[in-house]
Structure 1
Protein backbone atom coordinates (compact mmCIF):
# COMPACT_ATOMS: atom_id res chain seq x y z
CA UNK A 1 0.00 0.00 0.00
CA UNK A 2 1.22 3.49 -0.92
CA UNK A 3 -0.32 6.76 0.19
CA UNK A 4 0.27 10.48 0.20
CA UNK A 5 -1.30 13.91 0.07
CA UNK A 6 -1.16 17.02 2.22
CA UNK A 7 -3.32 15.38 4.87
CA UNK A 8 -0.22 13.33 5.76
CA UNK A 9 2.53 15.87 5.16
CA UNK A 10 0.71 18.98 6.47
CA UNK A 11 -2.04 17.86 8.87
CA UNK A 12 -2.81 21.46 9.85
CA UNK A 13 -3.89 22.14 6.27
CA UNK A 14 -6.62 19.55 6.72
CA UNK A 15 -8.40 21.48 9.48
CA UNK A 16 -11.86 22.51 8.36
CA UNK A 17 -12.30 26.25 8.15
CA UNK A 18 -16.00 26.78 8.75
CA UNK A 19 -15.73 30.37 7.60
CA UNK A 20 -14.99 29.05 4.09
CA UNK A 21 -18.42 27.44 3.91
CA UNK A 22 -19.43 23.94 2.85
CA UNK A 23 -16.61 21.40 2.50
CA UNK A 24 -17.02 19.33 -0.67
CA UNK A 25 -15.12 16.06 -1.01
CA UNK A 26 -14.34 14.98 -4.57
CA UNK A 27 -13.28 11.37 -5.18
CA UNK A 28 -11.51 10.02 -8.26
CA UNK A 29 -10.98 6.28 -8.65
CA UNK A 30 -8.41 5.15 -11.20
CA UNK A 31 -6.50 2.14 -12.46
CA UNK A 32 -3.86 2.56 -15.18
CA UNK A 33 -5.44 5.85 -16.18
CA UNK A 34 -2.42 7.79 -17.39
CA UNK A 35 -4.12 8.82 -20.64
CA UNK A 36 -6.75 11.11 -19.11
CA UNK A 37 -6.08 11.39 -15.37
CA UNK A 38 -4.25 14.70 -15.68
CA UNK A 39 -7.30 16.25 -17.34
CA UNK A 40 -9.56 14.94 -14.58
CA UNK A 41 -7.28 16.24 -11.81
CA UNK A 42 -7.00 19.68 -13.40
CA UNK A 43 -10.80 19.91 -13.69
CA UNK A 44 -11.05 19.43 -9.92
CA UNK A 45 -8.17 21.71 -8.95
CA UNK A 46 -9.42 24.50 -11.24
CA UNK A 47 -12.93 24.65 -9.76
CA UNK A 48 -14.19 28.15 -9.03
CA UNK A 49 -15.31 26.82 -5.64
CA UNK A 50 -12.19 26.35 -3.55
CA UNK A 51 -13.28 24.62 -0.33
CA UNK A 52 -12.68 21.19 -1.85
CA UNK A 53 -11.08 18.11 -0.34
CA UNK A 54 -9.72 16.01 -3.21
CA UNK A 55 -9.18 12.27 -2.72
CA UNK A 56 -7.75 9.84 -5.29
CA UNK A 57 -8.07 6.08 -4.94
CA UNK A 58 -5.80 4.04 -7.21
CA UNK A 59 -6.19 0.31 -7.70
CA UNK A 60 -2.47 -0.42 -7.87
CA UNK A 61 -1.66 1.01 -11.29
CA UNK A 62 1.39 -0.22 -13.22
CA UNK A 63 1.62 2.69 -15.69
CA UNK A 64 2.45 6.36 -14.94
CA UNK A 65 -0.70 6.98 -12.89
CA UNK A 66 1.16 7.36 -9.58
CA UNK A 67 3.65 9.81 -11.09
CA UNK A 68 0.75 11.97 -12.25
CA UNK A 69 -0.87 11.85 -8.80
CA UNK A 70 2.39 12.66 -7.00
CA UNK A 71 2.90 15.68 -9.26
CA UNK A 72 -0.18 17.22 -7.62
CA UNK A 73 0.45 15.87 -4.13
CA UNK A 74 0.50 19.30 -2.49
CA UNK A 75 -3.05 19.94 -3.70
CA UNK A 76 -4.53 16.48 -3.15
CA UNK A 77 -5.82 15.93 0.38
CA UNK A 78 -5.19 12.20 0.33
CA UNK A 79 -4.37 9.46 -2.13
CA UNK A 80 -3.93 5.73 -1.70
CA UNK A 81 -2.71 3.07 -4.11
CA UNK A 82 -3.39 -0.62 -3.48
CA UNK A 83 -5.27 -3.47 -5.16
CA UNK A 84 -9.02 -3.37 -4.65
CA UNK A 85 -11.98 -5.67 -5.15
CA UNK A 86 -13.50 -3.68 -8.00
CA UNK A 87 -14.96 -0.25 -8.68
CA UNK A 88 -17.54 -0.44 -5.88
CA UNK A 89 -14.79 -1.22 -3.38
CA UNK A 90 -12.70 1.70 -4.65
CA UNK A 91 -15.70 4.06 -4.39
CA UNK A 92 -16.32 2.91 -0.82
CA UNK A 93 -12.70 3.53 0.15
CA UNK A 94 -12.94 7.08 -1.15
CA UNK A 95 -16.18 7.71 0.74
CA UNK A 96 -14.59 6.38 3.94
CA UNK A 97 -11.61 8.73 3.50
CA UNK A 98 -13.86 11.76 2.87
CA UNK A 99 -14.51 14.28 5.63
CA UNK A 100 -16.57 16.80 3.63
CA UNK A 101 -20.24 17.65 4.00
CA UNK A 102 -21.01 16.77 0.37
CA UNK A 103 -19.37 14.07 -1.79
CA UNK A 104 -18.96 13.93 -5.56
CA UNK A 105 -17.30 11.16 -7.60
CA UNK A 106 -15.57 11.83 -10.91
CA UNK A 107 -13.81 8.95 -12.65
CA UNK A 108 -10.38 9.19 -14.23
CA UNK A 109 -11.57 9.62 -17.82
CA UNK A 110 -14.30 12.19 -17.04
CA UNK A 111 -14.01 15.83 -16.05
CA UNK A 112 -16.00 18.63 -14.42
CA UNK A 113 -17.07 21.96 -15.81
CA UNK A 114 -15.18 24.78 -13.98
CA UNK A 115 -18.28 25.95 -12.07
CA UNK A 116 -19.71 22.48 -11.36
CA UNK A 117 -19.10 22.49 -7.61
CA UNK A 118 -20.17 26.11 -7.11
CA UNK A 119 -23.41 25.40 -9.02
CA UNK A 120 -24.14 22.43 -6.77
CA UNK A 121 -23.23 24.22 -3.53
CA UNK A 122 -25.64 27.03 -4.47
CA UNK A 123 -28.54 24.54 -4.26
CA UNK A 124 -27.26 22.48 -1.35
CA UNK A 125 -29.47 21.54 1.59
CA UNK A 126 -28.64 18.90 4.22
CA UNK A 127 -29.71 15.34 3.47
CA UNK A 128 -30.16 15.54 -0.30
CA UNK A 129 -28.78 14.29 -3.63
CA UNK A 130 -27.88 16.86 -6.28
CA UNK A 131 -27.38 16.05 -9.95
CA UNK A 132 -27.29 17.75 -13.34
CA UNK A 133 -26.60 17.49 -17.07
CA UNK A 134 -23.79 15.53 -18.71
CA UNK A 135 -21.94 16.43 -21.91
CA UNK A 136 -20.64 13.59 -24.06
CA UNK A 137 -17.58 14.00 -26.31
CA UNK A 138 -16.80 11.91 -29.39
CA UNK A 139 -13.48 10.13 -29.92
CA UNK A 140 -12.44 12.76 -32.49
CA UNK A 141 -12.82 15.49 -29.85
CA UNK A 142 -16.07 16.90 -31.18
CA UNK A 143 -19.09 17.56 -29.00
CA UNK A 144 -21.63 14.76 -28.72
CA UNK A 145 -25.00 14.57 -26.97
CA UNK A 146 -25.90 16.64 -23.94
CA UNK A 147 -27.95 14.50 -21.59
CA UNK A 148 -30.50 15.78 -19.09
CA UNK A 149 -31.52 13.47 -16.21
CA UNK A 150 -34.99 12.43 -15.15
CA UNK A 151 -35.13 11.29 -11.53
CA UNK A 152 -38.88 10.63 -11.90
CA UNK A 153 -38.07 7.59 -14.06
CA UNK A 154 -35.26 6.21 -11.92
CA UNK A 155 -37.46 3.32 -10.76
CA UNK A 156 -37.63 2.27 -14.41
CA UNK A 157 -33.96 2.50 -15.40
CA UNK A 158 -30.78 4.52 -14.87
CA UNK A 159 -31.90 8.05 -15.73
CA UNK A 160 -29.34 10.06 -13.76
CA UNK A 161 -25.84 11.01 -14.92
CA UNK A 162 -23.63 9.54 -12.20
CA UNK A 163 -20.58 11.80 -12.87
CA UNK A 164 -22.81 14.77 -11.99
CA UNK A 165 -24.08 13.34 -8.71
CA UNK A 166 -23.25 14.87 -5.31
CA UNK A 167 -24.55 13.15 -2.18
CA UNK A 168 -24.72 14.53 1.35
CA UNK A 169 -22.29 12.64 3.61
CA UNK A 170 -25.12 12.00 6.10
CA UNK A 171 -27.03 10.09 3.42
CA UNK A 172 -24.12 7.68 3.15
CA UNK A 173 -23.97 7.42 6.94
CA UNK A 174 -27.65 6.53 7.18
CA UNK A 175 -28.11 4.34 4.09
CA UNK A 176 -24.65 2.94 3.40
CA UNK A 177 -22.45 3.20 0.34
CA UNK A 178 -21.97 0.97 -2.72
CA UNK A 179 -22.89 -2.72 -2.68
CA UNK A 180 -19.72 -4.55 -3.75
CA UNK A 181 -21.73 -7.46 -5.16
CA UNK A 182 -22.69 -5.15 -8.05
CA UNK A 183 -20.00 -4.98 -10.73
CA UNK A 184 -21.73 -2.94 -13.44
CA UNK A 185 -24.86 -1.18 -12.08
CA UNK A 186 -23.52 -0.27 -8.65
CA UNK A 187 -24.40 3.40 -9.16
CA UNK A 188 -27.97 2.55 -10.14
CA UNK A 189 -28.41 0.27 -7.13
CA UNK A 190 -27.13 3.00 -4.78
CA UNK A 191 -29.28 5.78 -6.24
CA UNK A 192 -32.41 3.62 -6.37
CA UNK A 193 -31.89 2.64 -2.73
CA UNK A 194 -31.49 6.30 -1.76
CA UNK A 195 -34.56 7.37 -3.75
CA UNK A 196 -36.65 4.55 -2.28
CA UNK A 197 -35.68 5.74 1.21
CA UNK A 198 -37.33 9.09 0.47
CA UNK A 199 -34.21 11.22 0.07
CA UNK A 200 -34.90 14.34 -2.07
CA UNK A 201 -33.19 14.52 -5.48
CA UNK A 202 -32.46 18.11 -6.54
CA UNK A 203 -31.84 18.86 -10.22
CA UNK A 204 -29.23 21.46 -11.14
CA UNK A 205 -30.10 22.66 -14.62
CA UNK A 206 -26.54 23.01 -15.87
CA UNK A 207 -23.90 20.85 -17.51
CA UNK A 208 -21.79 19.73 -14.55
CA UNK A 209 -19.57 17.01 -16.01
CA UNK A 210 -18.17 15.64 -19.26
CA UNK A 211 -17.65 12.08 -20.46
CA UNK A 212 -15.75 10.67 -23.40
CA UNK A 213 -17.67 8.42 -25.76
CA UNK A 214 -15.50 5.35 -26.04
CA UNK A 215 -18.45 3.17 -26.85
CA UNK A 216 -20.91 1.68 -24.40
CA UNK A 217 -19.34 -0.92 -22.13
CA UNK A 218 -19.03 -4.35 -23.72
CA UNK A 219 -20.75 -5.56 -20.57
CA UNK A 220 -23.89 -3.53 -21.23
CA UNK A 221 -26.16 -6.57 -21.04
CA UNK A 222 -24.72 -7.41 -17.60
CA UNK A 223 -25.44 -3.83 -16.57
CA UNK A 224 -29.08 -4.24 -17.64
CA UNK A 225 -29.28 -7.53 -15.73
CA UNK A 226 -27.96 -5.89 -12.58
CA UNK A 227 -30.39 -3.02 -13.05
CA UNK A 228 -33.24 -5.54 -13.07
CA UNK A 229 -31.77 -7.26 -10.03
CA UNK A 230 -31.57 -3.94 -8.15
CA UNK A 231 -35.25 -3.23 -8.83
CA UNK A 232 -36.25 -6.70 -7.70
CA UNK A 233 -34.20 -6.26 -4.54
CA UNK A 234 -35.27 -2.74 -3.57
CA UNK A 235 -38.75 -2.52 -5.09
CA UNK A 236 -41.28 -5.32 -4.92
CA UNK A 237 -40.77 -8.08 -7.54
CA UNK A 238 -42.79 -7.47 -10.68
CA UNK A 239 -43.08 -8.77 -14.22
CA UNK A 240 -42.67 -5.14 -15.26
CA UNK A 241 -38.99 -5.29 -14.30
CA UNK A 242 -38.44 -8.17 -16.70
CA UNK A 243 -40.42 -6.41 -19.44
CA UNK A 244 -38.29 -3.27 -19.07
CA UNK A 245 -35.14 -5.41 -19.20
CA UNK A 246 -36.27 -7.01 -22.47
CA UNK A 247 -37.14 -3.58 -23.87
CA UNK A 248 -33.69 -2.25 -22.93
CA UNK A 249 -31.96 -5.15 -24.68
CA UNK A 250 -34.09 -4.81 -27.82
CA UNK A 251 -33.64 -1.04 -27.84
CA UNK A 252 -29.88 -1.39 -27.51
CA UNK A 253 -29.58 -3.98 -30.28
CA UNK A 254 -31.79 -1.94 -32.60
CA UNK A 255 -29.77 1.18 -31.90
CA UNK A 256 -26.50 -0.61 -32.65
CA UNK A 257 -27.84 -2.01 -35.91
CA UNK A 258 -28.94 1.44 -37.13
CA UNK A 259 -25.90 3.39 -35.97
CA UNK A 260 -23.67 4.50 -38.89
CA UNK A 261 -26.35 3.44 -41.38
CA UNK A 262 -28.93 5.36 -43.45
CA UNK A 263 -31.38 4.67 -40.62
CA UNK A 264 -29.27 6.41 -37.98
CA UNK A 265 -31.72 9.33 -38.04
CA UNK A 266 -34.19 7.07 -36.20
CA UNK A 267 -31.75 6.82 -33.30
CA UNK A 268 -31.39 10.59 -33.23
CA UNK A 269 -35.16 11.09 -33.31
CA UNK A 270 -35.69 8.61 -30.48
CA UNK A 271 -32.98 10.16 -28.32
CA UNK A 272 -34.41 13.63 -28.72
CA UNK A 273 -38.07 12.83 -28.18
CA UNK A 274 -38.58 9.46 -26.48
CA UNK A 275 -35.49 8.58 -24.47
CA UNK A 276 -36.02 8.47 -20.67
CA UNK A 277 -33.11 10.92 -20.48
CA UNK A 278 -33.41 13.86 -22.85
CA UNK A 279 -30.47 13.92 -25.26
CA UNK A 280 -29.73 16.99 -27.32
Structure 2
Protein backbone atom coordinates (compact mmCIF):
# COMPACT_ATOMS: atom_id res chain seq x y z
CA UNK A 1 0.00 0.00 0.00
CA UNK A 2 2.93 2.29 -0.59
CA UNK A 3 1.59 3.75 -3.86
CA UNK A 4 -1.87 4.96 -4.78
CA UNK A 5 -4.22 2.55 -6.48
CA UNK A 6 -7.20 3.16 -8.74
CA UNK A 7 -9.74 1.14 -6.73
CA UNK A 8 -9.71 0.13 -3.07
CA UNK A 9 -12.09 -2.71 -2.16
CA UNK A 10 -13.13 -2.73 1.49
CA UNK A 11 -14.73 -5.79 3.11
CA UNK A 12 -15.99 -5.60 6.69
CA UNK A 13 -16.13 -8.97 8.41
CA UNK A 14 -17.41 -10.43 11.65
CA UNK A 15 -17.78 -14.21 11.96
CA UNK A 16 -18.07 -14.44 8.18
CA UNK A 17 -16.45 -17.86 7.85
CA UNK A 18 -19.36 -19.38 5.92
CA UNK A 19 -19.24 -16.90 3.04
CA UNK A 20 -15.94 -15.02 3.01
CA UNK A 21 -13.93 -17.49 0.90
CA UNK A 22 -16.52 -17.42 -1.87
CA UNK A 23 -16.45 -13.63 -1.80
CA UNK A 24 -12.65 -13.56 -2.00
CA UNK A 25 -12.65 -16.07 -4.85
CA UNK A 26 -14.84 -13.73 -6.88
CA UNK A 27 -12.26 -10.95 -6.38
CA UNK A 28 -9.01 -12.93 -6.70
CA UNK A 29 -9.35 -13.75 -10.38
CA UNK A 30 -9.93 -10.07 -11.22
CA UNK A 31 -7.43 -8.37 -8.93
CA UNK A 32 -4.68 -6.39 -10.65
CA UNK A 33 -1.95 -3.93 -9.71
CA UNK A 34 -4.50 -1.12 -9.95
CA UNK A 35 -6.65 -2.64 -7.20
CA UNK A 36 -6.06 -3.08 -3.48
CA UNK A 37 -8.09 -5.19 -1.07
CA UNK A 38 -8.61 -4.27 2.58
CA UNK A 39 -10.39 -6.42 5.18
CA UNK A 40 -11.54 -4.81 8.40
CA UNK A 41 -12.52 -7.51 10.88
CA UNK A 42 -14.50 -6.93 14.06
CA UNK A 43 -12.50 -9.49 16.06
CA UNK A 44 -14.20 -12.61 14.75
CA UNK A 45 -14.34 -15.74 16.87
CA UNK A 46 -15.03 -18.26 14.11
CA UNK A 47 -12.66 -19.26 11.28
CA UNK A 48 -12.77 -15.85 9.56
CA UNK A 49 -9.20 -15.00 10.58
CA UNK A 50 -7.97 -18.35 9.25
CA UNK A 51 -9.53 -17.56 5.89
CA UNK A 52 -7.93 -14.12 5.89
CA UNK A 53 -4.57 -15.65 6.72
CA UNK A 54 -4.83 -18.21 3.91
CA UNK A 55 -5.61 -15.46 1.39
CA UNK A 56 -2.79 -13.06 2.28
CA UNK A 57 -1.51 -13.10 -1.28
CA UNK A 58 -4.47 -11.02 -2.47
CA UNK A 59 -5.10 -8.98 0.71
CA UNK A 60 -3.15 -5.73 0.94
CA UNK A 61 -4.22 -4.73 4.44
CA UNK A 62 -6.20 -6.24 7.29
CA UNK A 63 -6.88 -5.63 10.94
CA UNK A 64 -8.97 -7.43 13.53
CA UNK A 65 -10.27 -5.40 16.47
CA UNK A 66 -13.61 -4.54 18.09
CA UNK A 67 -15.75 -2.04 16.21
CA UNK A 68 -19.15 -0.37 16.39
CA UNK A 69 -20.62 -2.11 13.37
CA UNK A 70 -20.14 -2.26 9.62
CA UNK A 71 -19.98 1.50 9.05
CA UNK A 72 -17.35 1.94 11.74
CA UNK A 73 -15.34 -0.79 9.99
CA UNK A 74 -15.82 0.92 6.64
CA UNK A 75 -14.68 4.24 8.09
CA UNK A 76 -11.50 2.55 9.29
CA UNK A 77 -10.97 1.11 5.84
CA UNK A 78 -11.50 4.48 4.16
CA UNK A 79 -8.77 6.02 6.29
CA UNK A 80 -6.31 3.28 5.23
CA UNK A 81 -7.31 3.08 1.57
CA UNK A 82 -5.02 4.59 -1.06
CA UNK A 83 -7.39 4.17 -4.00
CA UNK A 84 -8.93 7.09 -5.86
CA UNK A 85 -12.18 5.15 -5.88
CA UNK A 86 -13.54 3.08 -2.99
CA UNK A 87 -15.75 0.01 -3.35
CA UNK A 88 -17.58 -1.77 -0.53
CA UNK A 89 -18.33 -5.47 -0.85
CA UNK A 90 -20.15 -7.52 1.77
CA UNK A 91 -18.52 -10.69 3.03
CA UNK A 92 -21.55 -12.60 1.73
CA UNK A 93 -21.60 -10.86 -1.67
CA UNK A 94 -19.76 -11.77 -4.86
CA UNK A 95 -18.37 -9.73 -7.72
CA UNK A 96 -19.47 -10.98 -11.12
CA UNK A 97 -16.77 -12.01 -13.65
CA UNK A 98 -15.23 -9.01 -15.39
CA UNK A 99 -16.75 -6.47 -13.00
CA UNK A 100 -13.48 -4.87 -11.96
CA UNK A 101 -12.13 -4.83 -15.51
CA UNK A 102 -15.23 -3.02 -16.69
CA UNK A 103 -14.84 -0.40 -13.98
CA UNK A 104 -11.11 0.07 -14.64
CA UNK A 105 -11.74 0.47 -18.37
CA UNK A 106 -14.50 2.98 -17.66
CA UNK A 107 -12.23 5.03 -15.40
CA UNK A 108 -9.38 4.98 -17.90
CA UNK A 109 -11.50 5.97 -20.91
CA UNK A 110 -13.95 8.51 -19.48
CA UNK A 111 -12.87 12.16 -19.81
CA UNK A 112 -12.86 14.11 -16.53
CA UNK A 113 -13.80 10.93 -14.63
CA UNK A 114 -12.46 12.43 -11.39
CA UNK A 115 -15.15 15.12 -11.44
CA UNK A 116 -17.73 12.43 -10.66
CA UNK A 117 -18.65 11.64 -7.06
CA UNK A 118 -20.14 8.21 -7.58
CA UNK A 119 -20.20 5.41 -10.16
CA UNK A 120 -22.79 2.68 -9.93
CA UNK A 121 -24.41 -0.16 -11.88
CA UNK A 122 -26.85 -3.07 -11.40
CA UNK A 123 -26.67 -5.87 -8.86
CA UNK A 124 -28.36 -9.26 -8.93
CA UNK A 125 -30.46 -10.02 -5.84
CA UNK A 126 -30.73 -13.81 -5.48
CA UNK A 127 -32.54 -16.29 -3.26
CA UNK A 128 -31.02 -19.14 -1.31
CA UNK A 129 -31.45 -21.37 -4.36
CA UNK A 130 -29.36 -19.01 -6.50
CA UNK A 131 -32.25 -17.81 -8.64
CA UNK A 132 -32.41 -14.08 -9.40
CA UNK A 133 -35.29 -12.46 -7.52
CA UNK A 134 -34.77 -8.96 -8.87
CA UNK A 135 -32.23 -6.65 -10.50
CA UNK A 136 -31.27 -3.80 -8.19
CA UNK A 137 -29.91 -0.35 -8.98
CA UNK A 138 -30.81 2.59 -11.19
CA UNK A 139 -29.46 6.05 -11.96
CA UNK A 140 -29.44 7.92 -8.61
CA UNK A 141 -31.02 11.18 -9.78
CA UNK A 142 -32.09 13.56 -7.02
CA UNK A 143 -35.74 13.07 -7.95
CA UNK A 144 -35.30 9.43 -6.94
CA UNK A 145 -32.72 9.75 -4.17
CA UNK A 146 -34.76 12.24 -2.16
CA UNK A 147 -37.38 9.49 -1.89
CA UNK A 148 -35.35 6.28 -1.66
CA UNK A 149 -31.93 4.70 -2.17
CA UNK A 150 -32.03 4.30 -5.94
CA UNK A 151 -28.43 3.15 -6.39
CA UNK A 152 -27.22 -0.37 -5.74
CA UNK A 153 -24.59 0.39 -3.13
CA UNK A 154 -22.67 -2.88 -3.13
CA UNK A 155 -19.70 -2.67 -5.52
CA UNK A 156 -20.40 0.92 -6.53
CA UNK A 157 -17.45 3.30 -6.66
CA UNK A 158 -17.07 6.30 -4.33
CA UNK A 159 -14.70 9.12 -5.22
CA UNK A 160 -12.58 9.38 -2.06
CA UNK A 161 -11.75 13.07 -2.50
CA UNK A 162 -15.17 14.23 -3.67
CA UNK A 163 -17.14 12.36 -1.05
CA UNK A 164 -15.31 11.28 2.09
CA UNK A 165 -12.73 14.08 2.17
CA UNK A 166 -15.35 16.77 1.49
CA UNK A 167 -18.52 15.68 3.30
CA UNK A 168 -17.15 13.26 5.90
CA UNK A 169 -17.33 9.58 6.73
CA UNK A 170 -20.33 7.35 7.42
CA UNK A 171 -22.69 8.50 10.19
CA UNK A 172 -22.59 5.83 12.90
CA UNK A 173 -26.00 6.89 14.19
CA UNK A 174 -27.42 4.86 11.32
CA UNK A 175 -26.72 1.13 11.55
CA UNK A 176 -28.22 -0.11 8.27
CA UNK A 177 -28.69 2.76 5.80
CA UNK A 178 -25.72 5.06 6.42
CA UNK A 179 -24.71 4.48 2.79
CA UNK A 180 -27.95 6.20 1.74
CA UNK A 181 -27.43 9.00 4.26
CA UNK A 182 -23.93 9.67 2.92
CA UNK A 183 -25.12 10.17 -0.65
CA UNK A 184 -28.19 12.18 0.29
CA UNK A 185 -25.94 14.69 2.07
CA UNK A 186 -24.91 15.92 -1.37
CA UNK A 187 -28.51 16.44 -2.36
CA UNK A 188 -29.03 17.48 -5.97
CA UNK A 189 -25.29 18.19 -6.32
CA UNK A 190 -24.33 14.50 -6.39
CA UNK A 191 -22.57 13.94 -9.71
CA UNK A 192 -23.02 10.32 -10.69
CA UNK A 193 -22.28 8.00 -13.59
CA UNK A 194 -24.61 5.03 -13.99
CA UNK A 195 -23.68 1.98 -16.06
CA UNK A 196 -26.40 -0.52 -17.13
CA UNK A 197 -24.17 -3.52 -16.41
CA UNK A 198 -24.31 -6.24 -13.75
CA UNK A 199 -21.49 -5.91 -11.21
CA UNK A 200 -22.29 -7.96 -8.10
CA UNK A 201 -24.52 -10.68 -6.71
CA UNK A 202 -26.21 -10.35 -3.33
CA UNK A 203 -28.10 -12.97 -1.34
CA UNK A 204 -31.48 -12.33 0.25
CA UNK A 205 -31.57 -11.95 4.02
CA UNK A 206 -29.36 -8.94 4.73
CA UNK A 207 -30.39 -6.14 7.05
CA UNK A 208 -30.47 -3.66 4.17
CA UNK A 209 -33.70 -5.34 3.07
CA UNK A 210 -35.75 -5.28 6.27
CA UNK A 211 -38.34 -3.36 8.24
CA UNK A 212 -35.53 -1.75 10.25
CA UNK A 213 -33.98 -0.44 7.04
CA UNK A 214 -37.31 1.07 5.99
CA UNK A 215 -37.56 2.83 9.36
CA UNK A 216 -34.00 4.18 9.09
CA UNK A 217 -34.69 5.45 5.58
CA UNK A 218 -37.70 7.33 6.93
CA UNK A 219 -35.57 9.08 9.54
CA UNK A 220 -32.82 9.90 7.02
CA UNK A 221 -35.35 11.65 4.78
CA UNK A 222 -36.69 13.44 7.83
CA UNK A 223 -33.23 14.60 8.98
CA UNK A 224 -32.32 15.97 5.56
CA UNK A 225 -35.79 17.36 4.77
CA UNK A 226 -35.66 15.74 1.35
CA UNK A 227 -39.47 15.48 1.18
CA UNK A 228 -42.42 16.87 3.12
CA UNK A 229 -43.46 15.20 6.39
CA UNK A 230 -46.69 13.87 4.91
CA UNK A 231 -44.99 12.52 1.80
CA UNK A 232 -42.32 10.93 3.99
CA UNK A 233 -45.00 9.05 5.92
CA UNK A 234 -46.66 7.92 2.69
CA UNK A 235 -43.31 6.68 1.37
CA UNK A 236 -42.74 4.76 4.60
CA UNK A 237 -46.13 3.04 4.29
CA UNK A 238 -45.49 2.26 0.60
CA UNK A 239 -42.06 0.75 1.34
CA UNK A 240 -43.35 -1.30 4.26
CA UNK A 241 -46.21 -2.69 2.20
CA UNK A 242 -43.91 -3.41 -0.74
CA UNK A 243 -41.51 -5.27 1.56
CA UNK A 244 -44.30 -7.42 2.98
CA UNK A 245 -45.64 -8.27 -0.48
CA UNK A 246 -42.17 -9.13 -1.78
CA UNK A 247 -41.52 -11.34 1.26
CA UNK A 248 -44.78 -13.23 0.82
CA UNK A 249 -44.21 -13.76 -2.90
CA UNK A 250 -40.69 -15.11 -2.34
CA UNK A 251 -41.20 -16.92 0.95
CA UNK A 252 -39.83 -20.16 -0.51
CA UNK A 253 -36.58 -18.44 -1.43
CA UNK A 254 -36.24 -16.73 1.95
8 Å CA contact 1:49–1:118 kept in 2: the answer is no
Q: Does 1:89 align with 2:79?
A: no
Structure 1 partner of 2:61: 78
Distance 1:63 1:227 in 2: 32
8 Å CA contact 1:92–1:177 kept in 2: the answer is yes
Structure 1 partner of 2:118: 129
8 Å CA contact 2:121–2:138 kept in 1: the answer is yes
8 Å CA contact 2:170–2:178 kept in 1: the answer is yes
Instruction: Report the secondary structure of 1:56's partner residue.
Output: strand
Root-mean-square deviation (CA, aligned residues, Å) is: 2.2
Structure 2 partner of 1:268: none
Name structure 1 gaps, 5 residues minimum: 1-13, 262-280
Distance 1:103 1:218 in 2: 20
Distance 1:167 1:257 in 2: 34
CA apart distance, 1:16: 2.1
Which of 237, 251, 255 does residue 246 from structure 2 map onto?
Answer: 255
Which of 224, 237, 245 does residue 234 from structure 1 map onto?
Answer: 224
| CA distance 1:219–1:112, change in 2 (3 Å) | closer
* 1:123-272 → structure 2 map (5 Å cutoff): 123-124=106-107, 125-127=113-115, 128-152=117-141, 153-170=144-161, 171-194=163-186, 196=187, 198-213=189-204, 215=205, 217=207, 220-236=210-226, 238=228, 239-259=230-250
8 Å CA contact 2:120–2:193 kept in 1: the answer is yes
Distance 1:256 1:139 in 2: 13
Distance 1:220 1:156 in 2: 17
Which of 65, 81, 92 does residue 48 from structure 2 map onto?
Answer: 65
8 Å CA contact 1:133–1:164 kept in 2: the answer is no
* Total equivalences in the alignment: 242
Q: Normalized against structure 2, the TM-score is what?
A: 0.87
CA apart distance, 1:148: 3.8
8 Å CA contact 2:8–2:37 kept in 1: the answer is yes
Q: Which structure would you say has the larger Rg?
A: 1
Q: Deviations over 1:81-106 (max 9, x none)?
A: 01101111111111111011110010
8 Å CA contact 2:123–2:201 kept in 1: the answer is yes
8 Å CA contact 1:123–1:204 kept in 2: the answer is no
CA apart distance, 1:259: 4.4
Name structure 2 gaps, 5 residues minimum: 108-112
